[in-house]
Amino acid sequence: MKKLFLAVALLFTIGLVAQEQPSGISVNGEGTITVVPDEVLIQVYIQEEASSAQKVKENTDKVIDEVLKYLKSEKIPQKNIQTEYVRLGKNVQTSKYGNVPNAVNFYANQSISILLTDVSKYDEITRGLLELGINGINSVQFKSSEIEKYEAQARLKAIADAKSKANEYAKALEVKVGTPILISESSNTYSNPQVFRTMEMKQSSVSSSNTQTLAVGEMEIKAQIHVVFSIIN
């Protein structure tokens, strides 16, 4: 009796699972929008070393203070400036004859991200930051201020792509495509044109005011969806 009950319960469960799986034409769709970025996110870093913790902190704080004042003078909104990380520590150098401490050196690293809503100001801002004593750029990332609008356009193209594929299958099977009974979306993806890399910045590398050093290019915004259409016989 117990075995019969378990068998009936198993069949009932299988039936429920089968009912939960939508039947129809299952396809994936992809939509891509290509746009020219109108914003650039720069991550710069400051690195200081000194013989005492107090001195290294004073040196770092001085550079950061001058950087923030400079960005304010360039009308960069405070909301577009953010500290990414702060690292403080010390290095202990030992003698070549053993583990006897020979010298202690303190260091500080701090990184700040700056969002420029005017890409043309990139060269001017980076030159100004270099003169103030930043050590380099961790990354440069292009962005769009209208990303939500372009994401919506990419979704519409993805839906059209999915429907086109469903119609091709339906034509081959001599049936018609009905209404969608299931739609799911994958995460949107972005393809930026800029290579991300750490760059040391030295005084000799400062470009003249008429030199352009940034190629904006284009960025791709992709939307991917999964759709199940009902079938009309």
What was the pLDDT predicted at 229?
96
Kind plus residue range of the DSSP H or E element containing 19: helix 2-20
Q: How confident is the model at residue 116 (pLDDT cuts 50, 70, 90)?
A: very high
What is the phi-psi region of residue 48: left when phi exceeds 0, alpha when psi lies from -120 to 50, beta otherwise? beta
Question: Among candidates 109, 80, 106, which has minimal Cα distance to 93?
Answer: 106
In contact, 156 and 31? CB cutoff 8 Å: yes
First to last CA, the chain: 44
Distance between CA atoms of residues 151 and 224, nearest Å: 11
Q: Residue 25 pairs with which residues in a beta bridge?
A: 229
Distance between CA atoms of residues 165 and 168, nearest Å: 5
> Please, what are the domains in the chain?
23-36+145-193+208-233 (3.30.110.170), 39-143 (3.30.70.2970)
- Burial of residue 136 (CB within 10 Å: 0-12, 13-18, 19+) is middle
Give this prediction's pTM.
0.71
The SS3 of residue 164 is helix
pLDDT digits 0-9 by tens, 181-212:
999 998 766 665 544 444 444 444 444 455 55
Q: How confident is the model at residue 18 (pLDDT cuts 50, 70, 90)?
A: very low
Question: Among candidates 42, 190, 58, 50, which has minimal Cα distance to 129?
Answer: 42
State percent of the chain over pLDDT 90: 61
DSSP label at 209? T
Q: How confident is the model at residue 230 (pLDDT cuts 50, 70, 90)?
A: very high
Question: Among candidates 148, 61, 74, 163, which has minimal Cα distance to 108?
Answer: 61
Look over the chain and give the mean of its residue pLDDT values, rounded to a whole number: 82
* Weakest-pLDDT range from 23-32, 100-109, 115-124, 202-211: 202-211
In contact, 39 and 117? CB cutoff 8 Å: yes
Distance between CA atoms of residues 10 and 169, nearest Å: 35
pLDDT digits 0-9 by tens, 62-88:
999 999 999 999 999 999 999 999 999
